Amino acid sequence: MEVAAWTAAAVAAVAAARWLGKAWQAAQGSTGNAKLPTLPTPQRRLPPPRYGERITVLSIDGGGIRGLIPTVVLASLEKELKSLEDKGEQDDARNDDPRIADYFDVIAGTSTGALIAGMLVTPKDENTERPRTAEEIKRVYRDLGPKIFPPMSWVRKFLRMLWGPIYDPKPLHEKIREITGDLRLDQTLTTILVPVFDVRRLFPRIVHSYKSRGEPQAEDGTGERRAKLSDVLIGTTAAPFHFPAHYFQEFLGRLPHTRQELVTRYHVIDGGVGANNPTMQAIMKVASEQMCGENDDFPSLTDGKVDFTKYHVISIGTGSFKEEETEMYSAKECGKWSARQWGFKFRHGRSPIVDVFTQASNFLVDYNVAMLFHSHGCEKNYLRIQLMNPSENTLSMDDATPGNMVKLE
């Protein structure tokens, strides 16, 4: 398990060297609209895509405590990037303190992947603009996991599920607010994209850092007030059965000549019910920003066509079974299940319905993205890193016991 994870991390590092190249530039800017305080010696960031030949995207799957797997991959990637920067020939272009956010125009994440993405694009504290290192994010997961998912017997888990969410959301919510503070979507260090699912409209939604288009401005000139990043992360981690749904809103402005506020209201649960793998959502959102012609981060399109050969995407999973070796459930077995058994299976100690919709998304999105790049003759521009065929217990999204945490690392 550990060897496989580190092997995947090494592959990611090599891919980054091939695709990202010398991403650190002397020019200033980022694809986000950061409004954080400027330090006496400003930290240089990746310029918008209009200054380069590539659009880089990082995507991280959902998976509960299995989010520890992507942190291992990212820690190795960041280490390799630092090694490459140290070998740089131009001192004025070298980044002596690299972070993942410095190399990606968009970082997308669902559920636990969004939590990782949030830490990648958020300043570590009020004394710096720089985010946590990937190694520090891994330590956050290691320390926080048992508090979010305290060990309990399947009997107790089932009884708690009958009366409400299985887990107390307080440890998770407090940590998210501690990490993000009052930071809003348009203040992230690079663009972040997060899928959520709106239970009020029964509709998947994509929350992102890009500026809203065609919305009225507030009469006082302040314009829209984007949602807090903490609300978005709490919403996308609200996994059914495990944590309660979350409500938040965005202020879009006021109607002309009136004081009536226009507000977008979100009644959301875990984005993983629709897009546990957010890779395609990230690619399509970037493409739509290019096509709209109103985003200064991107160059004008030629003949209105998106050039996907300029996209370079790394997608990191949280573990999966190999198709030919998977024997989780049988038709004979599940054909007799009640609604309760689909929600929670005693023998497996897990939720079959959650397994179904998360694994379906992971496989289908990977296939569709691979075909998208292959059809444009740039299949090497897409790298999917997935730890395959771990043990059944390791693939549980809420097994934060010491033994399983060691396996995940």
Q: Does 111 participate in catalysis according to the annotation?
A: yes
* SS3 annotation, 176-236: HHHHHCCCEHHHCCCEEEEEEEECCCCEEEEEECCCCCCCCCCCCCCCCECCEHHHHHHHH
Cβ neighbours, 10 Å, residue 278:
32
What's the maximum distance between 2 C-alpha atoms anywhere in the chain?
A: 67
Name the token pair of 70. 């992507």
Which residue in the list 270, 297, 355, 366 is annotated as catalytic?
270
- Distance (Å) of CA 74 to CA 133, 339, 371: 9, 39, 25
| Short-list 285, 283, 290, CA closest to 314 | 283
**E strands in 273-361:** 311-316
Which residue in the list 111, 209, 230, 361 is annotated as catalytic?
111
* DSSP 8-state secondary structure symbol assigned to residue 108: E
Q: What is the rounded CA–CA span in Å between residue 244 and residue 239?
A: 8
* SS3 annotation, 22-74: CCCCCCCCCCCCCCCCCCCCCCCCCCCHHHCCCEEEEEECCCHHHHHHHHHHH
What dihedral angle (degrees, nearest 10) is formed by the CA atoms of 225, 226, 232, 233? -100
237 close to 115: Cβ distance less than 8 angstroms: yes
| Short-list 134, 125, 115, CA closest to 173 | 115
Q: Does 168 participate in catalysis according to the annotation?
A: no
Q: What is the rounded CA–CA span in Å between residue 316 and residue 383?
A: 8
| Short-list 233, 214, 215, 236, CA closest to 224 | 215
240 close to 269: Cβ distance less than 8 angstroms: yes
Q: What is the rounded CA–CA span in Å between residue 73 and residue 408?
A: 11
281 close to 348: Cβ distance less than 8 angstroms: no
**Residues classed as catalytic:** 111, 270
